Structure 1
């Protein structure tokens, strides 16, 4: 975690700063808002800004938004009046800490942002195989493509690989290609020179330069415009980039990781993704299985999230009942780990006792866990039945299948031709022609109000 202290804090944060550094945080200092913004533009990024309340917090937050820096701001100061805290929060600060503080209070705030754990929880053999492959390639500089459904933990895997690489002491920089408008993404990635376009008030280094010496994660790269993909390909091949409005290339030293929840081979066939870029990124592919295919992980993660949110909300010890645990493992989890975490956070808050049963577990739309499991089970049964029916038709001609379908439908409606034609989706004339054909072949055709006799 990178912590930047902004303003003159008169040594009040020295102990908390030492704790942050001891915990692995990298701490820098900017005496003023202008110097802080200059540091951010120069690629000396931060994960948290700890700002003197007497600084221009409103101006700082406005500047961060105008230049698209997404960094949380926590205000602190020696002012004892409530107005300082109110003004800081109104200006957009996430929190206000009075000084001199209990050093542990500031350390806790820093730790909350710094808790960027690169370890993740898994127990299932399917996930263990992916982690084993990740460990094998983590130490190299090879590009890695991490694929899987939304919520399976692709960014967590990327951070895990960075922490086990030779670049672990360098920065880990992530950019979500789907969250930034196409017109701005080039500047975000490669930076720009002052005056390169309207709003470019100063030179700004992009994510490539900010990640130099470390790892750059291109999250949801499948959403990048195909024209920008060409510039990205050159940057990866040449290890140099061109800032928007720049006059000379800039060397970069980074390792590229990328994620996608789409099938990029299919995107190549559709023309929305460059094949040569896919080859460059996909030196190694880590495909994360969906949570519903990792039952052992569901159990382990469920216990972890219950403990985490019970502690975070000061609710004492909570545990899952055996029935709840069983139904959690049978649920489909379309949103994967992210959905499971949100569901159990809600369950911890709604549970009436220390044990969480299925009745306390509900989906965002209010549907109970048991109902979701029943629906999923019925759908799975129907799909299996359909598959069994399809297999039973193998080896038979289309004419045979059609004849049986028509005659069985006619039996079902007691020989009513009009009703049968409507069910079958054919005209009454077509049905009569088919029945005449079957009669000529010697088959018994039920009259209206009758069924075929079964020998």
Structure 2
């Protein structure tokens, strides 16, 4: 369940936005002032903050930065408030949501902030390889043991983690996810363990970290293999002692959390290389669930494609259309190096581009498969770059990747291998120079 904090009165258009979000499964909290919003984010926390431009959006963002709280902020207000919208985005707001709200924009906003919703968390599976994984997951879902979820990028590790939580005895308690690769070390430490007032410059009050926010429930540590060894040691202590030491704290805080960890790395190889603690590895690897890449579960390709076609037709207010036999054949024959995420993007595009009663092959735009090992790649791609500057090539690559991902910044950053912050900085530079940058489909950019 997504956790949404609304800064502003729950009346009129903003109240309607809250009810729409609730209808999509979000848990709503409300604050009347920036200090009250910061107080909530220090305690229960939220996956997303929706702040009306009648409040000081920049002050909220400054407070989050000063207190090392990583919560995305979306500004909102009447469509005619263009100057306030620009100011909010320049101050660091992720997006601007026009009011009165549109239900589809609300849905896209929540999905962008929190990945998948609880309603969509059940994995789609028909292939024996994936059914075997789900059978093993069902065996351990109600246990308290830590679970290590492995698999290539885009295979659906967070979806499986949410499925485990929903089937566990902790299902009524919070599910909290944290991407360990998305934050710098100092911010990640505060996000995980929280801090006491005065722990560092800007820590004006005590703040609960993700372990405390997930108390009684489940904490997913995504991309755990990217974590600094110093923080690995602190994670190990929390697992062993079931207590958290806040930054600047004098006494530990007891927590009751089930740990799920996910990684696309070979953690045992990382242990051998000295980059991951062996003792933490064995604490996390009580049960291992390996998600097979999509190429190893071919019977899931078409059921997943049909699932995404229905989802994105509904999300965009379009009629549901079946995939034509030729479109199905095209999807089934593709190797899907980007796994389920690539398939989702391809079907989303097809839903938007298709014309007629069916989704035909002309709407299916697929990324060419990479060259096989030992195969000589065509030289034309490299030759086409000769004579161009690195900045020009980088710009075209970034804008092209954003277009491929329908404007989704998180996915584009993953494909490009850069941080979301670095991507946003590039986008700001391009916009400042007058270039058009693809907007995230489904909500304002």
Q: TM-score when scaled to structure 2?
A: 0.73
CA distance in 2, matches of 1:232, 1:363: 41
Alignment partner, residue 30 of structure 2: 29
Tell which deviates more after alignment, 312-321 or 128-137. 312-321
Contact map agreement 1:76 1:97 (CA 8 A) in 2: yes
CA distance in 1, matches of 2:314, 2:259: 37
Q: CA deviation at 1:253?
A: 1.1
Distance 1:190 1:22, change over 3 A: same
Alignment partner, residue 87 of structure 1: 84
CA offset digits 1:89-121 (Å, max 9, x no partner): 6413634454xx6xxx57665555274432221
Q: CA deviation at 1:179?
A: 1.4
Q: CA deviation at 1:52?
A: 4.1
Where do 1:342-381 residues align within 5 Å? 342-364=345-367, 367=368, 372=369
Alignment partner, residue 54 of structure 1: 54
Alignment partner, residue 162 of structure 1: 165
2:6 pairs with 1:5 = yes
Distance 1:14 1:311, change over 3 A: closer
2:17 pairs with 1:39 = no
SS where residue 299 of structure 1 aligns?
Answer: helix
Number of equivalences: 362
CA distance in 2, matches of 1:242, 1:290: 38
SS where residue 230 of structure 1 aligns?
Answer: helix
CA distance in 2, matches of 1:352, 1:15: 33
Q: TM-score when scaled to structure 1?
A: 0.71
Higher relative contact order (CA 8 A, sep 6+): 2
SS where residue 76 of structure 2 aligns?
Answer: strand
CA offset digits 1:221-254 (Å, max 9, x no partner): 1111222211111110000111122221111111
Larger Rg: 1
Task: Name structure 1 gaps, 5 residues minimum.
Answer: 380-455
Alignment partner, residue 192 of structure 1: 195
Q: CA deviation at 1:317?
A: 4.2
Where do 1:229-308 residues align within 5 Å? 229-308=232-311
CA RMSD of aligned residues (A): 2.9
Out of 114, 120, 123, the position equivalent to 2:123 is 120
Distance 1:3 1:206, change over 3 A: same
SS where residue 218 of structure 1 aligns?
Answer: strand
Q: CA deviation at 1:147?
A: 0.5
Where do 1:68-79 residues align within 5 Å? 68-76=69-77
SS where residue 283 of structure 2 aligns?
Answer: helix
CA offset digits 1:322-371 (Å, max 9, x no partner): 2332232232211100111112223334445444444443335xx4xxxx
Contact map agreement 2:74 2:97 (CA 8 A) in 1: no
CA distance in 2, matches of 1:350, 1:19: 27
Alignment partner, residue 390 of structure 1: none
Contact map agreement 1:46 1:71 (CA 8 A) in 2: no
Distance 1:317 1:108, change over 3 A: closer
Distance 1:181 1:5, change over 3 A: closer
SS where residue 257 of structure 1 aligns?
Answer: strand
CA offset digits 1:207-234 (Å, max 9, x no partner): 1111111111100111112222111111
Q: CA deviation at 1:27?
A: 2.7
CA distance in 2, matches of 1:274, 1:132: 30
